[in-house]
Amino acid sequence: MQGYAIAIRKHLVSGYSEDNMKRRRFTQLTGNFLAGVTIASCSKTSEILTQTADPQDKSLRIWWEEGFYPEEIDALKQIIAKWKETVDIDVALTVIPQKDIIQDIENAVEAGTPPDIFYSGSGDLTVIPRLAWNNQLADVSDITLPLQDKYSLNALVGVNYRNRETNERSYYAVPLMQSAIHIHYWEDLLINRAGERRASIPSDWQGFWKLWASAQAKLDKNSESKIYSLGMPMSLSLDTYNNFEQFLESYDAQIIYPSGQLNISRPQTRAALAKALEAYTSFFRNGQVPPEAVDWDNTGNNVSLLSKTSLMTVNHTLSAPGSQRNDPETYFRKLSTIKWPDKPNGQSMRFVVELKQAVIFEASEKKEDAKKFLAYLAQPQNLATYTKGAQGRYLPVMPTLFEDPFWQDAKDTHISVAVEQLQNTRPAYQVFNPAYGEVAAQNVWGEVIRKIAVDNLSIEQATEQATAKIEQIFSAWQ
């Protein structure tokens, strides 16, 4: 992984081709807050297609995923309004719910009516790598390269995709925010009812997970209602996929080489995959996870944690603590975020980085206007406004932005732990090979994990099924 990152850095100054690179919605908390905020807010694809297919509409069409907080879209609207003070360009902003936006963009692309600009919080894991591969995205190097010294290497690596028509890599997305996998828990429950303290949480893998099992037993004795130790999704939600990707990393199951070559059939990799599946699903089989976790959507684990049905949860954003920011007692004292334990082999944990990014469609008739807007949005002061508008749910992609006091509060364990995790990372596999986006889109991990939990599929069978499915996906890309 390190070699890939070095190659990307070389690419910034010399235009390395990939051949040379081989030698980087939980529940809506505030109700329907979008009424009156955007020009359009749609959840049905047919409505969107009808709306945006009007040939008389000369506006710059932006499709943006609905934020978890009203401040996120408010911040975007504020940035658009300031930009419009400097340009004579009309903007049509359509805000689309998380659960609909990927299907909506797929349908729009198929119909030949995509927007000019597109952003989705799961786009980097599913659709964007494929769109870049298929030459359907505009090259935005003229936006990204002038800012290369401001971006972190993680950010640059996360938007550097290969185009099959040019057979080269380039920048097909503009980095906005980033995140890794976080562990949140109720400090007050752990202390008052389970008799444990933060300082007593082990840093070794086995000891770490045993503590939560022990805490559940104590909670069963000291709580009137049932509190499960772990809010770990076992469903077809993307959260299951994300969480399990970190478990794969924990067990050193390297599914893809940085060159893009699939590595899943190697016996060592299959054995590591089986260990990761065994570890992840054992929590459900041992009764540490709410039974309804097999049917959770992407909001399930957050709801379980915030309702105190679960003592702890694993999540790929800081959305759970972010939702409590207006309650300092809860945010700073009751709810806490803690570092992951070391890997089972004792090595320090490395984290899979998700890179939230916006793209421009190659078919857009307003590419230059779209580039002007994204170039404006990418300016440090605007990214700071937008990232803070998202309540710190994601982290900045420019190191200097961390100097803002918002990110510097030492007593804020949520942000301080999240920032620390960015010191040891690797890119999501989709960056190495766009075929892995189909692994996420089809949620191969969620599918077999749910089968283990619901249908008692054996670990051996689950490993075989997942391996065969991924090999099939990659074979179709050859």
Distance CA 268, CA 358 (A): 37
**For residue 27, what pLDDT is reported?**
27
Report how far apart, in Å, the C-alpha atoms of 401 and of each of 202, 350, 416, 438 are. Answer: 32, 23, 14, 33
Q: Name the stretches of the chain with pLDDT < 50.
A: 1-53
Distance CA 175, CA 61 (A): 19
Question: 416 and 381 share a domain?
Answer: yes
CB atoms within 10 A of CB 362: 17
Question: 302 and 423 share a domain?
Answer: no
Q: Which residues contact 416 (CB under 8 A, 6 or more apart)?
A: 409, 410
Sign of the torsion angle spanned by Cα atoms 365, 369, 372, 374: negative
**For residue 48, what pLDDT is reported?**
42
Tell me phi and psi for residue 339, to 5 degrees: -65, 150
Question: 56 and 15 share a domain?
Answer: yes
Which string of DSSP letters, residue by residue, matches 332-355? Answer: IIIEEEEPPPPPTTSPPP-EEEEE
- Count: domains in the chain: 2
Question: 347 and 381 share a domain?
Answer: no
**For residue 197, what pLDDT is reported?**
86
State the CATH number of the domain containing residue 267. Answer: 3.40.190.10
Strand partners, 117: 62, 360
By CB atoms closer than 10 A (0-12, 13-18, 19+), residue 1 is: middle
Question: 208 and 138 share a domain?
Answer: no
By CB atoms closer than 10 A (0-12, 13-18, 19+), residue 57 is: exposed
Question: 167 and 190 share a domain?
Answer: no
**For residue 58, what pLDDT is reported?**
83
Question: 139 and 191 share a domain?
Answer: no
Question: 334 and 442 share a domain?
Answer: yes
By CB atoms closer than 10 A (0-12, 13-18, 19+), residue 265 is: exposed
Full residue range of the structural domain in which residue 425 is found: 2-179+354-431
**For residue 43, what pLDDT is reported?**
37
Question: 107 and 117 share a domain?
Answer: yes
Which string of DSSP letters, residue by residue, matches 399-451? Answer: GGGGGSGGGT-TT-HHHHHHHHHTTSEEE-GGGT-TTHHHHHHTTHHHHHHHH
Q: What is the pTM of this model?
A: 0.88
Question: 146 and 283 share a domain?
Answer: no
Q: Which one, of 108, 103, 124, 102, lies nearest residue 172 by Cα?
A: 124
Report the SS3 class of residue 254: coil
**For residue 478, what pLDDT is reported?**
66
Question: 11 and 122 share a domain?
Answer: yes
Do the beta carbons of residue 233 and residue 300 sit within 8 Å?
Answer: yes
Question: 316 and 172 share a domain?
Answer: no
